[in-house]
Structure formats: C-alpha cells, structure tokens
Chains A and B, each alone.
Chain A
Amino acid sequence: MTPHDDELGADLRPDGTGAADASAADPRSGTTSAADTHPDDLRLDALEPEDLDGHSIDELADYLDAGMQPADPSIDDSAACQNALAAIIRLRQSSLGSLEAAAAQEPPADESWIGGVLANISLEARAGRDVPLRAESPTERPVMTEGAIRSLVRSAGDVVPGVVIARCSLDGDVVRLGAPVRVTVELAVWAGSPIHDAADRVRSAVAAVLAEQTDLVVEAVDVRVRDLLPALPDDDHEPTHDEDGA
C-alpha cells in the first residue's frame, strides 16, 4: 500500500498482491472523501486556463446545463473540452444523482468528493504530452495526446457497473515508443458491488482498450479502490456476475 492509501485503499494488482479485503470494508465508512486523501492533487484552483483551452470545469458544466446553447466554438472545437464534457456527462449519467443524494445525507465532505472527481476530469482532459504511435512510413508521424489516452482509460472504466472512476494516470516515459508504462486507476465502488470483481473488470477493460487504441507497452494496470460509496438505490444498481450467482 502506498502512503496515500486510506483504510479502504488497496492496490489491486494482476498478481493479486496487495489485494483489498472486501469483507473488511465497512460501507458506513465508505464515504471517505477522495479530496481529503489527496488534498494536493484535487485543487480546482490549481488549474491553468490553458489546461482546457481557456475554460474551467465549471464553465463546461454550465455549458452542459444550458444544453450547449448558444454554441461556443471555443468549446465545441476543443478536443480537451470535448474529452472533459464526455467524462462529465458519463459521471452524471452513471452516478451523480446518487452521489448527490448520498451527499445530502452525509457531512459536507462528500460534496468535495464530487468536486475532486470533476477536478481530476479537468486535469486529465488537458492535452499533456504527445504519445507516439508506430509509424510505418517516413512521411508519417502519428501521436496521441496524453489527454486522449487518459480519457480512453476513464471511459473504459466508467462503463463497468458499480464503480465510479475517480482518477487515472500514466506513469513512465510515455513519449518514448516502446517504453514500459504503468497505468493507475483510482475508483470508488458502490457498497454491495464485489470489490475484487469490479477491480478486475476495470483492469480488463482498461488493458483491452489501450491494447486496441494505442501502441503503449502497458507493463501493468494498477487498480486502487479508494472509496466505498453508500449502496445504490435498487433502481440504479445493476447486479454483477457475483451477485447473480449468489
């Protein structure tokens, strides 16, 4: 476990080392704020305007609330803004209503949990470094932005039932083709969803999408379950395989 890991946190590596003990997790304490555990990397005010081509995550959320009207070309034509908007939409569709309901019942720290996720979306969506793709001719120099890759990782994890992706990062010399890269995904699991199953699904989904869409040499996909969220209302809860078989 890293020094940052809280009592729920655990590194869930493919080899099973450091695996979380799902049975030991107490759902009642599962609303631990990610913002509390990562005070230094979840600050919205630390963002530079150029991170999202001059826009803030709040502006993008407002733009969504307004139905993206009137059209703003500086947002519509910005890949970083589009990556962030897509992540916000997925977050809202999958969980924000339930998160807000949970926040209403819990201390104010939970509001900063959502803010922390939004801050991470903003940080991840910025273009970042150019990650090379394999060229097959001298006239070709293809690259993918780090922001596009982080968005890929987040979108792959977001579709796994029972989880909310909090943060993802790439570690390694990503600007060098063939260099080993380690991917870290931090997530929250809804109480009632088996933690190992959710982590395995996220790991598999992320590894698959990176293998298909990039030329990264992925050394490992580390999944850290940082939070346990209150159980979803029945209507929102899609059962997992484990629950089906229980």
Chain B
Amino acid sequence: MDDETAAAIEDAVLAVPGVADLYRARPTVGSALASARNLATGTAVSRVVLDDDVLRVVIGTDGSAPAPATARAAHRAALDVATARGVTLSRVDVRIARVG
C-alpha cells in the first residue's frame, strides 16, 4: 500500500460521522520496518497498518452515535477507498480505543 493510499484511507475514516480521532495502529514487524524507512526519508508515518491483506485502524469516537455503528462505517469507508485504489483487502480491523 503506497503512502497516498494510506493517507486517503486516513482521510476517509476521519470523515466518518462520529469518528473523532485516528490513532496509530500498533505496528507489526513488517509495518515497523516500513515506518522506519519512512522516518529515514522524512515521510509521514501512516496511522493505518496493512498486514498482508488485513488493514488495521484504531479510532476514537465522539460518542454522538453508537460506537458499533461508527466502527462499521469506518470499516466501510476504509474498504471503499482501498478498493477504489486497487488495494484488495480481506478484512478491516477497526479498534475503538476511546469514546467521547
């Protein structure tokens, strides 16, 4: 997944009503290496992490809508952007780390 796609996914998730924050997903070894490369080149480190074909997203919600519905909408938004950019995902893991 290229940086532009990651940034587009981040924007789409943050645009979902009820999503207040996007936190950095805990990196796996592979994504940590990619992050290290980005740091070395001065590129912004993505907050979403792709493990094989599973995208991991960690969000905070503002509490205005039920969190399960917000998670579902964030999953849909991420999946749509990834698909539109040619990235095939088998799953989007949305983790809600904060509400309100």
Measured CB to CB, the residues of A under 8 A from B are 77-80, 82-83, 86, 127, 130, 133-134, 136-145, 147-148, 151-152, 155, 212-215
Contacts and interface: CB of A to CB of B under 8 A. Distances in A.
B8 to A, nearest CB: 18
Contacts, number: 83
B71 A79 contact: no
B92 A145 contact: no
Contact of B99 (A77, A127, A140, A151): A151
Contact of B95 (A77, A78, A83, A130): A130
Interface of B: 21, 23-24, 58, 60, 63, 66-68, 71-72, 75, 79, 89-100
B68 A214 contact: yes
Contacts of A134: 68
Contacts of A133: 67-68, 71, 96
Contact of B72 (A138, A140, A214): A140
Given A140-B92, A145-B97, 19 more contacts: A77-B24, A79-B23, A79-B58, A130-B95, A133-B68, A133-B96, A136-B72, A137-B75, A138-B91, A141-B91, A141-B94, A142-B71, A142-B72, A143-B96, A144-B71, A144-B96, A145-B96, A148-B97, A213-B63
Nearest to A81: B98
A213 B91 contact: no
Nearest to B96: A144
Q: Which of A139, A142, A145 has the most CB of B within 10 A?
A: A142
B88 to A, nearest CB: 11
A139 B99 contact: no
Given A79-B21, A82-B60, A142 B98 contact: no
Given A82-B60, A145-B97, A139 B67 contact: no
For chain A, what secondary structure do more than half of its interface residues adopt (helix, strand, loop), or is it mixed?
A: mixed
Given A82-B60, A139-B79, A214-B68, A148 B98 contact: yes
B92 A215 contact: no
Given A139-B91, A142-B68, A214-B68, A79 B100 contact: no
A80 B97 contact: yes
A130 B71 CA distance: 14
A213 B60 CA distance: 12
Q: Which of B66, B68, B90, B91 has the most CB of A within 10 A?
A: B68
Contacts of A139: 75, 79, 89-92
A79 B98 contact: yes
